[in-house]
Homo-oligomer: A and B are copies of this chain.
Amino acid sequence: MGTSPKVELSIPIIPDMELAATQTSEVVARHMGLGQDKSDEIKMALIEACINAFEHSKTEEGQVEINFTIEDNTLVIKVTDQGVGFDENTVKIPKIEQKIKSDHKRGWGLQLIKELMDTVEFESTDEGTTVTMTKKK
């Protein structure tokens, strides 16, 4: 095992398949010595990134790639789809006061990811999206 262990996952769009990713992050987090709270935050962010790729990417390839790398004391997670892409800047920040009255109760995933992880970056074109998120020890 090198200094930068890598875990690579390629999962099909199957209900609950995101749980394969969270189980993986849990093992990696434990290996890094991350506490339970941080591990749980990573799991939640990963679920949201996966279900976004499942639901919104419209990928024809039908697979979503998840990569984990441990760099020094930071876990770097990339979730990639080969779908239609989106512009992060057009996504509205959700507010509960509005959601309560709106027909559209959803739209929380990106917000949760940003709040739960240390850094989050989106690279998105019409050939797909990669979300890169990190959590420090």
Q: A-side interface residues toward B, CB under 8 Å?
A: 1-2, 5-17, 19-20, 22-24, 26-28, 30-31, 62-63
Instruction: Specify how many copies of this chain sit in the oligomer.
Output: 2
Partner of A27, one of B10, B19, B26: B19
Show 20 A/B contacts (Cβ-Cβ < 8 Å), sorted by A: A1-B12, A1-B14, A2-B62, A6-B10, A6-B63, A7-B10, A9-B9, A9-B10, A9-B24, A16-B27, A16-B30, A17-B27, A17-B31, A19-B23, A19-B27, A20-B20, A20-B23, A20-B24, A23-B23, A24-B24
Smallest CB separation, A31 vs chain B (Å): 5
B14 touches A27 (CB 8 A): yes
A83 and B62 alpha carbons, distance in the complex (Å): 31
Task: List 9 A-B pairs, minimum CB-CB distance, nearest first.
Answer: A23-B23, A5-B12, A20-B24, A8-B10, A1-B62, A14-B31, A20-B27, A1-B13, A1-B12
